[in-house]
Amino acid sequence: MNPFVPFGPSHLIALALSLILPVVLVVAVRAWPRADRPIRYAFTLILLGVWAWSYVLAWHRGWLTVGDALPLNLCDWATIATLVTLVRPNQKSYELAYFWALGGTLQGMITPDTPYDFPEVRFVIFFVYHGGIIAAVLYLTFGLHFRPWPRSLRRVVLWSFVYFFAAALTDYALGTNYGFLRAKPSQASLYDWMPPWPTYIGVVIVLGFVTAAIYYAPWFIADRIRARKAS
């Protein structure tokens, strides 16, 4: 098995597919609106299937521990919000999926936690899972015309702190490292540029606010342009 190469051919293809697939699906659903439900259900089955596959593989190979068995990574919460929106489209779960997927899951795609390159099974699981979340959120945004609003920022900040405290309490009680609140990730990531524990936790919180503002900015600018044109 070949070791994973950051931004090597396999990595770049996986990143590209997570962006190309939703474009194709958006074009398809605009041409054939009835395709929406099958597309959403396909996303749902794929995400649930690969999530279950990751647990089965970890259990079978003896990798499953209390530190990774609980759905307390931010990507897990992004998955849940995405699945809820896919099954029952609604604004509140969508906006959580939007900000968590683009702010957290996308970062995971850029600095993936996988030791080996394609076609090793962990590479496939990681990128189908994370890329599926990104693709689903982009499909919901541009295919179903969901978007964040100013009130979305308040709700996503509130729920992000709910996640933060849930992960922190679990880490304290079980000695785990959900949310990387007790130690930096082992793979290369933005954490490498941050100060030591526990100072970097404050940096991550600030970056969370900045990231939310960045991903809301295009909508804010578009609204301002439309308002000026209307006046």
pLDDT tens column, 51-66? 999 999 999 998 889 9
In this prediction, residue 192 carries a pLDDT of: 86
pLDDT for the residue numbered 179: 92
Percent of the residues in the chain that have a pLDDT greater than 70, as a whole number = 100
| Per-residue confidence (pLDDT) for residue 229, from 0 to 100 | 83
pLDDT score of 213 more than 90: yes
Rounded to an integer, what distance in angstroms lies between the CA atom of residue 53 and that of residue 124? 11
CA atoms within 13 Å, Cβ hemisphere of 139: 33
Least confident interval from 84-88, 114-118, 132-136 = 114-118
Residue 210, pLDDT score: 93
Helices (H), the chain: 9-31, 36-60, 66-69, 74-87, 91-100, 106-110, 121-143, 150-174, 199-230
Q: How far apart are CA 96 and CA 28, in angstroms?
A: 25
Is the separation of the CB atoms in 178 and 118 below 8 Å? no
Q: Has residue 191 got a pLDDT over 90?
A: no
pLDDT at 63: 87
Cα separation, 170 vs 164, in Å, equals: 10
Predicted structure pTM score: 0.93
- Please determine, for residue 189, whether its predicted confidence score (pLDDT) is greater than 90: no
Query: Which residues fall within 8 angstroms of residue 185, CB to CB, at 6 or more apart?
Result: 111, 113, 191
Rg (the chain; Cα; Å): 18
* Phi, psi dihedral angles at 116 (to 5 degrees): -125, 160
Task: Give yes or no for residue 107 having a pLDDT over 90.
Answer: no
Mean pLDDT score of the chain, rounded to an integer? 93
